Amino acid sequence: MDTPHPAVRPTLSHSRFEDVQAVLAGTLFVAMAMVVFGQAGLLTGGTAGAAFLLHYATGIGFGPLFFVVNLPFYWFAWRQMGREFTLKTFAAIALLSVMTALAPRFIAIQSLHPAFAAVFGGLMLGTGCLFLARHRASLGGATILALYLQERRGWRAGKVQLAIDCTVVVLALFVVEPARVGWSVLGAVVMGGFLGINHKPGRYAGT
């Protein structure tokens, strides 16, 4: 009897329940990262970084700004990544906006060193984005572009995300002091490195 080639693995589809729990868990991880970054006065890349910059400049809550900043990217996601990806991404972004808005009612951090915030927040952010990516969802903006380039061009999503995030954070030099930007770059490197190691093309076959 013929046996399957060891390199050939069946593609397993996620159930609706698995998708829901992944979006909830991934978004919660990212929300905690945003709380940590916000408490330490740090930034991140992509549309989240843009929302942070607007938050620091205007005082408007991060959650509503993050939701609004991502609105233009839904068209690209719908055209290039499909209906299911776009709907999951919309749900994740809406959830993150609500979670970050409600977080101050449930958690308070009295003391936080920016080095710890950068490393811990970067790992939390990378973990949350990994959950979402493996269930064909994202948190909009740069993540949509990174996943698109990985699927269509084979470019490593972690490296693309890292390049975009570092660019956004460096641009923040025009808005916040260099020390906070430096710690923010560390957070972006930690997140990008985590994704680069754990989210390689072809390694995860779930859909």
Model confidence pLDDT, tens digit, residues 90-140:
888 888 889 988 888 888 888 899 999 999 999 999 899 888 888 877 777
Q: How many whole angstroms separate alpha carbon 15 and alpha carbon 155? A: 28
14 sits in the region (left: phi over 0; alpha: psi -120 to 50; else beta) called beta
Domain ranges across the chain: 16-105+113-197
Model confidence pLDDT, tens digit, residues 3-39:
444 444 455 677 878 888 888 998 999 999 989 998 8
| Residue 19: both structure tokens together | 């998708």
Q: SS3 string of the chain? A: CCCCCCCCCCCCCCCHHHHHHHHHHHHHHHHHHHHHHHHHCCCCCHHHHHHHHHHHHHCCCHHHHHHHHCCCHHHHHHHHCCHHHHHHHHHHHHHHHHHHHHHHHCCCCCCCCHHHHHHHHHHHHHHHHHHHHCCCCCCCCHHHHHHHHHHHHCCCHHHHHHHHHHHHHHHHHHCCCHHHHHHHHHHHHHHHHHHHHHCCCCCCCCC
Among 92, 98, 95, 96, smallest CA distance to 138 is for 92
Percent of the chain with pLDDT over 90: 10
Q: Which residues contact 46 (CB under 8 A, 6 or more apart)?
A: 139, 140, 141, 142, 143, 161, 164, 165, 168
pLDDT at residue 188, rounded to an integer: 81
pLDDT at residue 206, rounded to an integer: 54
Q: How many whole angstroms separate alpha carbon 125 and alpha carbon 32? A: 8
Q: What is the mean pLDDT of residues 36-53?
A: 83
Task: Give the other-Cβ count within 10 Å of 102's Cβ.
Answer: 12
